[in-house]
């Protein structure tokens, strides 16, 4: 079956846009509920459970509230930029998703419909380009509010986003080296024929994961907001829907980042341990099954975001910068070289791309990952010193008692 063309292409694209963006926005709304209920679960409390069954309609109530609240416009703010900033945060967060394939192709009477809104040949470059625009929302919001806290938040945000953008891009380069292509569909296809790239590229996945937490401004990287220090930082002065748009942007960024991790490292819409879903003929059943597989993986990552948020404390700004520039960047850079050499070596040795190829790289990466974690940890991060300290106190106290 051939891909759709002509006006059918136009109409299927419109439908895809509506479905994907409607779906993301619904997921975002739903996820605010999950986050709050998840927080309640982690914190031994209930969370919102009054509106609708189990509080499921809470997001709707919040949305309504935000529409009805007063839109404040501080007199000292730069009016145009102040209004522009939420949009600048909101739009890139949504349109980044356009190139992510979220299922197997769908056969229709008019032809085969590609699973991404735009199956761009330069898909990954598009993602890098558009997701970088999100920083303007933060910076402009912080600057135009004419509030010192907001300004600090905006500055922190821009420094953070730019720093981690680099590591994020570099860790994705490893994927591109292995995939040999920057089209998202091709990256998925390569994983279907080998192993999911999370195994052969585990170090890249780790750096990408950390960088995407930083890119989404989530704990432990929520410094631009840092309510204890900057009182919501760059969006201190925003209210009602403008404030809401920052929130939607944050959650949309989470969805997009999760979708990217799924696509780059977890096989995209691939269903593991079977080749049934990878091969034509494409059927509606395959579309539905792979669609579900994709979103299940995304939701798993989204839950990780919630889990981490209610577990970890916040970094300090210099620690954040150190982690970004002194750890993540060299690691990602070095890893790209290692992977490039390994891929070249495997090619020279004539190992065909497939399962064995992936497993060899997995072994290489596992060794590197072990070294990295060992180097980072140094018995400080995981060991902790309180138990030792307490033991020493009690021993000292016992000695003193013995002496007296």
CA 11 to chain centre: 30
72 near another protein, rule: CB under 8 A: no
CA 94 to chain centre: 13
Cα dist from 199 to 67, 175, 206, 327, whole Å = 45, 11, 11, 21
42 near another protein, rule: CB under 8 A: yes
Peptide bond before residue 211 is cis, with ω within 30 degrees of 0: no
Q: C-beta of 330: minimal distance to another protein in Å?
A: 18
375 near another protein, rule: CB under 8 A: no
Alpha-helical (H) ranges within 180-234 are 184-193, 202-215, 227-230
CA 239 to chain centre: 26
Q: C-beta of 115: minimal distance to another protein in Å?
A: 38
With 0-12 / 13-18 / 19 or more C-beta atoms within 10 angstroms meaning exposed / middle / buried, residue 17 is middle
Residue among 20, 186, 24 nearest 119 (CA): 186
Within a 10 A sphere around the Cβ of 206, how many other Cβ atoms? 20
402 near another protein, rule: CB under 8 A: no
Angle of helix 355-377 relative to helix 329-349, nearest 10 degrees, comes to 150
Q: C-beta of 306: minimal distance to another protein in Å?
A: 12
62 near another protein, rule: CB under 8 A: no
Would strands 106-108 and 111-113 be described as parallel, antiparallel, or unpaired?
Answer: antiparallel
| Length of the chain counted residue by residue | 404
Per-residue binder mask for another protein (CB under 8 A), 74-103, x = binder: ------------------------------
Which of 136, 310, 325, 353 is close enough to bind another protein by CB under 8 A? 310
CA distance 360 to 208: 21
397 near another protein, rule: CB under 8 A: yes
Stretch that binds another protein, among 113-121, 134-142, 192-200, 375-383 (CB under 8 A): 375-383
387 near another protein, rule: CB under 8 A: yes
Which of 313, 350, 352, 402 is close enough to bind another protein by CB under 8 A? 313
Which of 148, 180, 344, 371 is close enough to bind another protein by CB under 8 A? 148
Which of 7, 68, 70, 228 is close enough to bind another protein by CB under 8 A? 228
Stretch that binds another protein, among 123-131, 171-179, 218-226, 233-241 (CB under 8 A): 218-226
Using CB under 8 A, list all residues that contact another protein: 39, 42-45, 148-149, 152, 156, 219-220, 222-223, 226-229, 231, 310-319, 380-387, 389-390, 393-394, 397
């Amino acid at each position: 079956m051939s891909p759709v063309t002509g006006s059918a292409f136009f109409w299927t694209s419109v439908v895809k846009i509506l479905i994907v963006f409607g779906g993301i926005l619904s997921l975002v709304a739903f996820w605010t509920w999950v986050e709050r209920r998840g927080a309640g679960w982690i914190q031994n409390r209930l969370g919102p459970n009054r509106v609708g069954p189990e509080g499921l309609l809470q997001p709707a109530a919040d949305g309504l509230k935000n529409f009805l609240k007063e839109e404040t416009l501080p007199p000292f703010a730069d009016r145009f930029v102040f209004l522009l900033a939420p949009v600048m945060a909101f739009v890139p967060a949504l349109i980044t998703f356009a190139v992510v394939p979220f299922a197997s192709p769908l056969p229709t009477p008019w032809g085969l419909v590609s699973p991404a809104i735009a199956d761009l040949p330069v898909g990954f470059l598009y993602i890098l380009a558009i997701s970088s625009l999100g920083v303007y929302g933060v910076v402009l919001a912080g600057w135009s509010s004419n509030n010192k806290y907001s300004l600090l938040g905006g500055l922190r945000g821009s420094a953070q986003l730019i720093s981690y953008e680099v590591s994020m891009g570099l860790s994705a380069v490893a994927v591109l080296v292995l995939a040999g292509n920057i089209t998202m569909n091709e990256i998925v296809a390569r994983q279907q024929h080998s192993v999911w790239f999370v195994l052969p590229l585990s170090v890249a996945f780790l750096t990408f994961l950390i960088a995407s937490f930083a890119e989404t401004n989530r704990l432990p990287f929520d410094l631009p907001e840092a309510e204890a220090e900057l009182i919501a930082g760059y969006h201190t002065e925003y209210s009602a829907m403008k404030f809401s748009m920052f929130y939607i942007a944050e959650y949309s960024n989470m969805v997009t980042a999760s979708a990217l991790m799924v696509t780059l490292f977890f096989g995209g819409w691939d269903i593991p341990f079977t080749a049934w879903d990878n091969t034509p003929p494409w059927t509606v059943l395959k579309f539905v099954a792979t669609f579900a597989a994709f979103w299940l993986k995304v939701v798993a990552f989204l839950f990780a975001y919630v889990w981490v948020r209610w577990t970890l404390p916040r970094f300090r700004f210099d620690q954040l910068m150190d982690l970004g520039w002194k750890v993540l960047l060299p690691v990602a850079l070095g890893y790209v070289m290692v992977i490039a050499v390994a891929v070249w070596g495997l090619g020279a040795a004539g190992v065909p791309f497939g399962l064995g190829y992936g497993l060899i790289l997995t072994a290489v990466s596992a060794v590197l990952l072990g070294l990295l974690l060992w180097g980072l940890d140094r018995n400080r991060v995981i060991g902790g010193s309180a138990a030792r300290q307490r033991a020493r106190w009690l021993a000292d106290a016992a000695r003193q008692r013995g002496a007296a």
